[in-house]
Amino acid sequence: MGGPPVNWWLDDYFKWLGHPYYLALQSAAAVYGSSPQALQVTQVMTDSPRREIKVGRLRLRCFVKRGIERTPTQPLPNAYAPLNVSTPEATAFDLVRYASRIGGIARAVETLSPLLPLLRGPELKHLLQAEEETSTAQRLGYILERAGKEKLAEAIHAWLPTRLPLIPLVPTGASLADVPVIVRWRLLNNSST
């Protein structure tokens, strides 16, 4: 592979940089057993832009998130070296938030589906308070409801403000005229998901 696995040196690398990080998105989902497609890159969340790193055939792609310190993380159990990974709830939230950067909302839903049994209501409420992102919560609530996770969807709906903005399910620059509205979540259904 041209170098040791990314998980072996990632924590030391970010400590050396002096920046927070956590294993995120599809890489975090894979840790929890969701890997619908083989990943060619390790996805990491941090607080400032970084170029993609290549070590032999290994690739590390960084995503930027303001307020990263508020995102719930946990150490990866039984890891060869220390490694922070987003909780299942934070992983689900990030998958929806960064869907356009990881292949679209359909890819996010495909990756999120195997995580659904791991999601817990109290942790989801804590995450919503920490992230304070209404639009992502609307989208995630709809996805959870469609997946049959009514209790989790209801926890999100209870957290949302009473007056919600009308937003597209998939952020796009295309015209949204004549797009059906998902009334409960105030979403324009511009996706087949």
Task: Give tens-digit pLDDT for 24-75.
Answer: 999 999 999 887 766 789 999 999 999 999 988 889 999 999 999 999 999 9
Both structure tokens of 187: 């979403």
- What domain count does the chain have? 1
CATH number at residue 11: 3.30.460
Contact between residue 107 and residue 34 where contact means Cβ atoms under 8 Å apart:
no
d(CA 42, CA 56): 13
pLDDT at site 45: 98
What percent of the chain is predicted at pLDDT more than 70?
Answer: 94
Does some domain include residue 188? no
pLDDT band at residue 2 under the 50/70/90 scheme: low
Does some domain include residue 125? yes
Does some domain include residue 126? yes
Condensed to tens digits (0 to 9), the pLDDT of residues 117-151 reads: 999 999 999 999 999 999 999 999 999 999 999 99
Q: At residue 22, does pLDDT exceed 90?
A: yes
pLDDT at site 156: 97
Report which of 136, 124, 49, 35 is spatially closest to residue 87, judged by C-alpha positions: 124
d(CA 11, CA 154): 36
Does some domain include residue 65? yes
Q: What is the DSSP letter of 176?
A: -
Residue 138, domain extent = 6-163
Does some domain include residue 151? yes
Contact between residue 57 and residue 6 where contact means Cβ atoms under 8 Å apart:
no
Does some domain include residue 12? yes
d(CA 126, CA 87): 11
pLDDT band at residue 155 under the 50/70/90 scheme: very high
pLDDT band at residue 84 under the 50/70/90 scheme: very high
Q: At residue 1, does pLDDT exceed 70?
A: no
Both structure tokens of 83: 């490694």
pTM above 0.85, yes or no: yes
